[in-house]
Structures are given as C-alpha cells and as structure tokens.
Amino acid sequence: MKTMPASLEAEPGIKSFLADCGLPSDDISASHLDNFFFLKDSGQIVGSVGLEICGEFGLLRSLALSESLRRQGIGTQLVEHIEEYARSQNIRSISLLTTTADQFFARIGYQTIARENAPEPVQETTEFQSICPASAICMYKQLQ
C-alpha cells in the first residue's frame, strides 16, 4: 500500500471511510483535501491522515485505519508521512485532539497538553471550537 494525496474525486470515499471509523468529516472541504492523504487496498480506502494548516502550526486530523490493519505499524507510518509533509510546509509543531488514541500518540512522541495551551491559530479551528468534545485529550509535538 502506498500513501496517496487526496483529490476532489476521493472526497466522498474519504468522508464515508471517516464516518465508518467514527470520525467527523462534515467540516472537511476541498481546501482541506490539499493536505490529506489516504491508503487504498483492492480499490477501497483503508487509511487516512490529514493536516489542517494554521499558519506555522498544524492540526493533525482524521488518522484512521481499517480495523484489520491496526497494530501493524501502518498508523505510525501515516503519522510519519504527515509529519514529513508538515515539515515541507514549514510547520513548526503539530497539535491534535483525540478521544481514543492518546496512548498511541504518546508512544510516537506526542505530549499531552492543556487544550488552552495549544497554539492560538489551532484553537480557532472548527475541530477545536465545536467538533471535538471538551473531554478530548489535546496533544502536541514540536517538529523544528
């Protein structure tokens, strides 16, 4: 499987995949897809990861894998891919919100922080403002 950039044609499939994985996708627009990547297997989307760019800061979004692909290192590879992409876009740090994967992200170098300590431009995103519940864990990783 190869990580591929998202396209407008892939939008319905990506949104459907995210919904199947229990992740929000209502606010994902065409401009977001410029910074999204996905995996396909046998013509089906089986993985995704995105980056919402907020100036020099990034918000990791929509990391998802089909159940059958979990615990094989593929999620880590997707995060490494988005981190490299973020560096190429001169992003200094990545923040994220999670309700289920904090232990996974901690293993790959993300630290739990108070939500109000995330970079201000990240806090202004729809995901921070209204999509993710207040109970979501905020995590952060410095890239540069």
For the beta carbon of residue 4, count every other beta carbon within 10 angstroms. Answer: 13
Report the chain's mean pLDDT, rounded to a whole number.
89
Residue 77's pLDDT is what? 92
Residue 26's pLDDT is what? 79
Q: Can you count the helices (H) and strands (E) in the chain?
A: 6, 7
Q: How confident is the model at residue 97 (pLDDT cuts 50, 70, 90)?
A: very high
Per-residue pLDDT for 133 more than 80?
no
Q: Which is higher by pLDDT, 97 or 127? A: 97
Q: How do residues 37-53 score in pLDDT, each as one tens digit?
A: 998 888 888 899 999 99
Residue 68's pLDDT is what? 80
Instruction: List, in sequence order, every residue forming a beta bridge with 97; answer none if it has no partner.
Output: 138
Residue 52's pLDDT is what? 93
Per-residue pLDDT for 131 more than 90?
no
For the beta carbon of residue 134, count every other beta carbon within 10 angstroms. Answer: 6
Per-residue pLDDT for 109 more than 90?
yes
Residue 71's pLDDT is what? 85
